[in-house]
Amino acid sequence: MEAYKRAIALLEKVTTDKGFLASANDITNYRRIWARDGVICGLAALLDGDKQLVKTFRATLQTLADHQHALGNIPSNVFFDKPKTLLSFGGLAGRVDTVAWFIIGVCNYAKLTDNIEFANRHLQNIDRGFRLLEAWEFNNNHLVYVPRSGNWADEYITEGYILYDQLLRLWALRCYQQLFPNEATATKIKKVTRKIIENYRKHHIRNEPYHPKAYKQLRKKNYWVASFNPSGYQKQYDALANAIALILEIDNEEFAEVVIQHSERLRTSLKLQLLPAFWPPIKPEDADWKLLENNCKYEFRNIPYEFHNGGTWQMVNGFYGLGLLKYDKRDEAAQVLEKIDDLNEKADWGFYENFNTETGMTTGVKHCAWSAAGAVLLKNSLEGKELLT
């Protein structure tokens, strides 16, 4: 109970009239309304039900909608630096995942607050976002092409047809279809789902894979692989992508059980008893090290076992817990929440951004809002509350 109160208190602390800030720390880059962080905090607010937090989520969505690019891009973040308003659509590369998170947020807000009119007023924003995602397919083949650094793993090496981004887009489409059912969206959902099922794990498929040569060389894994591009597959285990695949109940229950078994073996084998963001970590002797080492705008943070390179994020594990609950793994989900709470409590309830998976040391920004949101999401989901998926 103490852990939950602390998590809610942090969400209250990052509340502003323009939306949720990324952190309560006085760090300029985090004192902004971030699309991804703000929506995740907002989803937590919806499940908690606190009126002020829900109101802040609405403000977050409105801020993002008000500053959407004419082409459909949703800002990575908005900074109100009076009298100016500063927008960022990404750093070394533009952000792709913000569009889907925005649509997921609007639809969940409308559904869970019984305010469909809110979604109605943002249909133009949603339509522009979906059109842009379709344009980013480039070849009209139902998978979005994502540049390196184009999503939350902004200093990692994944690039191309990244599974996480395909799943987010599918989640957005499914949410929209539940509010505004139509034949075109239903057809797109089927096509995107089929592409995901056929191309991110090795099994017998009816149709030709997206990249036949690379798929032929792909070995069977007990999880959905992270990405592929024209040069082949990036076969890392992406915890957030696999968690969302479980939440959306992609493919058959048999493979979901395989994914859960693999995830649980990995989770319970590690010091923190939580999943790392990507696994295994890339090390200096590995072929991908140069790609990783050079992919940073200012300072290199992705040393092995930290940040995206094998670091442990409470936010990621919150979504993993939601995935476990889709398959009635309540005991495992409860264990995940307990470990998230343990990390959030470190350093006098520091709610650090992530942790070194090998040493357990804190890394990243303190008082990170989505570290609290991950716990709030999972606690309420264990009590039977559900998001729109």
Q: What is the pLDDT of residue 206?
A: 81
Measuring CA to CA, which residue among 2, 10, 97, 3 is closest to residue 45?
Answer: 10
Q: What is the pLDDT of residue 82?
A: 80
Residue 387 within any structural domain of the chain:
no
Q: What is the pLDDT of residue 26?
A: 79
Q: What is the pLDDT of residue 56?
A: 98
Residue 236 within any structural domain of the chain:
yes
Number of domains in the chain: 1
Q: What is the pLDDT of residue 380?
A: 98
Residue 126 within any structural domain of the chain:
yes
Q: What is the pLDDT of residue 1?
A: 85
Q: What is the pLDDT of residue 22?
A: 94
Q: What is the pLDDT of residue 235?
A: 98
> Consecutive sets of 10 residues in the chain, 389 residues long: mean pLDDT of each?
96 98 86 96 98 98 98 96 89 95 98 98 98 98 97 97 98 98 98 97 90 96 98 98 98 95 98 98 97 92 97 98 98 98 97 98 96 98 98
Residue 311 within any structural domain of the chain:
yes
Show the domain range for 378.
2-382
Residue 388 within any structural domain of the chain:
no
Q: What is the pLDDT of residue 119?
A: 98
Residue 389 within any structural domain of the chain:
no
Residue 287: CATH number of its domain: 1.50.10.10
Residue 112 within any structural domain of the chain:
yes
